[in-house]
Structure 1
């Protein structure tokens, strides 16, 4: 019973976490990047330990190589000097050192090969992981772009449907605006027609006459001659004047 409840809780938690992961792929990718960095750091620690072992084997091999050279020289020198017993002891020790040197050389070669394999495996793994992360980053960016385009298309589609469905409202609004505009134009025309242009023109003539009188008084007081603004009557044509003065019977 409790096991089934536990499985059910795990299932709900899995669904919840899965939903969060789908909604936040960048966060999940960042977590994987951090995990990759940690794994590389741990791997490099192990690799450094192995590299230390290789260096230790190299140092021991060099030491055995030097000891082997010294023992060989001592064995030869004592043998030539006739010290067979001492030469024999050096020869036995030389065999042991030579054997150890050979074994150490094999271990060093294997450790060196293993180190190079580990470095190659690390580089390949890191390269593959980085490539996968870059591909995922591009996929996430592409997904965002496509999601945004889909949302815009859906929004545009909804707007078209909404605008098409609200045609009656727009028509009513257009009718209301046109009606108010017509009323405003009518009121403006009525107000214009209601103006008494006769009184306005007479008032303007009075103001002009008063201005001319004031100007004439000022000119007279200052001794300034000004031209009369009265319009002279147009002169009659010479032909008409001649006709009037000529007596009857006189031809033109």
Structure 2
């Protein structure tokens, strides 16, 4: 019973954490970057320990090499001096050192090869991880762009649907505006037709006459001679002649 409840709680926590990870992929990627740095640091510590072992083997190999050289020289010297017993003991010791030296060289070669393999494995692993992180970063950026584009497309699609759905409203609004415009034009025409143009013309003539009288008074006061606004005699005759000519030869005055 409790195990099932525990599994259920774990399942809910997994879903919750998974949802957070989906909403924040950058944070998850930063965590993986930090984990990679920690792993590289720990790997380098182990690599440094192995490198120290290699250096120790190198030092021991050099020491055995030097000891072997010295023993060989001493054995040769005692043998030439006739000290066979001492030369024999030195020769036996030389064999032991030589054997130990050969084993040390093999260990050194193996440790050196292992060190190079570890370095290569580290470099390849780090390079692969970095490449994957870079790809994930680009994918996250592309995901953001695609998500933004999808949201814009969805918004545009919604706007098109809303605009298309509001066609009836726009048609009604157009009819209302047209109807009101026609009513306003009708009212303007009625008002214009209701105006008494004869009265307006009379008032306009009165205004012109008053203006002429004021102008005549001003000219008299200033001693300015005004030209008559009535047509001259020649103009009257010309006008009369033109009228007669248009009446035709068979028409009397």
TM normalised by structure 2 equals 0.74
CA–CA distance in 1 between the matches of 2:58 and 2:135?
Answer: 42
Aligned to 1:154: 154
Alignment gaps of 5+ in structure 2: 242-253
Distance in 1 between the 2:217 and 2:58 partners? 127
> In the aligned structure 1, how far is the partner of 2:221 from the partner of 2:118?
118
- The 1:73–1:165 alpha-carbon spacing in structure 2 relative to 1, beyond 3 Å, is same
Q: Is structure 2 residue 24 aligned with structure 1 residue 52?
A: no
| Deviates further, 143-152 or 21-30 | 143-152
User: In the alignment, which residue of structure 2 is the partner of 1:108?
Assistant: 108
The answer to whether the 8 Å contact 2:57/2:107 transfers is yes
The CA distance in 2 between the partners of 1:7 and 1:72, in whole Å, is 73
RMSD: 3.5
Distance 1:77 1:175, change over 3 A: same
The residue aligned with 1:139 is 139
Distance 1:81 1:67 in 2: 21
The unaligned stretches of length 5 or more in structure 1 are 221-225, 241-252
The one-character-per-residue Cα deviations of 1:6-40 (angstroms, maximum 9, x if unpaired) are 11111111111112222222222222222122211
Paired with 1:227 and 1:117, the residues of 2 have a C-alpha distance of 126
Q: Counterparts of 2:25 and 2:96 in 1: how far apart (Å)?
A: 63
Name the structure 2 match of 1:3: 3
Determine the C-alpha separation between the residues in 1 that align with 2:92 and 2:226.
Answer: 155
Output the CA distance in 1 between the equivalents of 2:42 and 2:210. 105
Residue deviations 1:74-95, cap 9 Å, x none?
A: 2212322233344334333322
Equivalent pairs, count: 235
Kept in 1: contact 2:216–2:226 (CA 8 A) = no
| Aligned ranges 1:144-223 → 2 under 5 Å | 144-185=144-185, 198=201, 201=204, 205=208, 216=219
- Greater alpha carbon shift after TM alignment, 158-167 vs 144-153: 144-153
Does the C-alpha gap of structure 1 residues 201 and 51 become closer, same or farther in structure 2, counting only changes over 3 Å?
farther
Larger deviation, residues 197-206 vs 8-17: 197-206
- Cα displacement string for residues 39-67 of structure 1 (whole angstroms, at most 9, x for unaligned residues): 11211221122112112211221222122
- CA distance, structure 2, for counterparts of residue 215 and residue 65 of structure 1: 142
TM-score by length of 1: 0.74
Counterparts in 2 of 1:233 and 1:58: CA distance versus 1, 3 Å: same
Q: Within 1, Cα distance between the matches of 2:211 and 2:181?
A: 39
Give the aligned partner of residue 18 of structure 1.
18
**Could you tell me which residue of structure 2 aligns to residue 42 of structure 1?**
42
